[in-house]
Amino acid sequence: RQEQFRALRAIEPVTKDGQRISLMMNAGLLVDLPQLSESGAEGIGLFRTELQFMIASTMPKADEQEQFYRNVIKQAAGRVVTFRTLDIGGDKVVPYFRGHEEENPALGWRAIRLSLDRPGLLRTQLRALLKASADTELKLMVPMVTEVSELRMVRELLQKEVQHLSRFGHGLPRKLQFGAMLEVPALLWQLDELMEAVDFVSVGSNDLFQFSMAVDRGNARVSDRFDPLGKPFLRILRDIVRGADRNKTPVTLCGELAGKPLSAMALLGIGFRAISMSPASIGPVKAMLLGLDVEALAKVMDEVLDDHRSTVTMREVLARFAESH
Ligand code: PEP
Ligand code: MG
């Protein structure tokens, strides 16, 4: 099967009914980069920048960060890289960066909250990313956004760094795309403001599922209790796609859900046209979509999702569809 998937590398990811799907991969270290051409991914949909911090024994210095991003961009060889700003805290522990003991770290001082409270840290990272992307395109996104106002604050810092660099004659990115991760349910009631405030949105389904269903993603006792392919979560995801489409904002999903063929099929069925996953999943997901009639699936899924009386599970519906097509 491995061989079969390799043979698919050069084949365009287009569904049976002609929908072009963007298949991207997740990464976080230089060792991941060769997987880009190995897997045939179109680009990197999620680059977890905190990994450089997590494997270091001291805080990476500004020039170390810049050099690292330069190497990533160079090895990506023209393919798009979506850098996520530091997502420290919660399940992502950086040993030398100790905050306070927290009773609920997942709900605590983490990600963009921490970055906004330590603007020096964020500005250093933004500057390193801008410098490393001189004369290329920089695609950047912010984790764990809760209120759209947080994005404005990051944009202001970003603008300051751009001005600073241009004042000192540094090269700047040819194009800058600014996005948000959607992984906190509060954003579901700010969809239109959110879509307007960014160039793109990426759904972090691992955290969005954890927060929507109130199940700790790291607690095996409850993490499998509810199905991410159940109706509540699929309706949430469908609302996000509708909000993005309504505002013509590109939307992608980069959580684990994207990497399982049946789940990926469901994501396409509710309207996603771009997903990002671990490189090993690209082949199996591509094999699935080449034979998929996504319009037919969308119809079946919408019917079940809109029927409040139906007791059939979405997983049954999806499995049946996969079998009969
Ligand atoms: C997510 O939450 O789905 C996500 C992609 O980010 P991480 O797994 O790094 O929290
Ligand atoms: Mg997350």
Per-residue pLDDT, 279: 97
Say whether pLDDT at 96 is over 80.
yes
122, 133, 195 from 67: Cα distances, Å: 17, 11, 32
Pocket around ligand 1: residues whose beta carbon is below 6 Å from it?
46, 48, 87, 183, 204-207, 254-255
Per-residue pLDDT, 95: 82
Say whether pLDDT at 90 is over 80.
yes
Residue bearing the CA closest to ligand 1, atom 8: 206
**What's the chain's average pLDDT?**
96
Tokens of 188: 């579901």
Amino acid at 322: A
Give residue 5's pLDDT band: very low, low, confident or very high (50, 70, 90).
Answer: confident
0.80 exceeded by pTM: yes
The burial class, CB within 10 Å (0-12 / 13-18 / 19+), for 46 is buried
Q: Are the beta carbons of 91 and 217 closer than 8 angstroms?
A: yes
Which residues are near ligand 2, the ion (C-beta closer than 5 Å)?
183, 204, 207
Say whether pLDDT at 99 is over 70.
no
- Gap from CA of 224 to ligand 1 centroid (Å): 17
Find the ligand nearest to 253 CA. Answer: 1
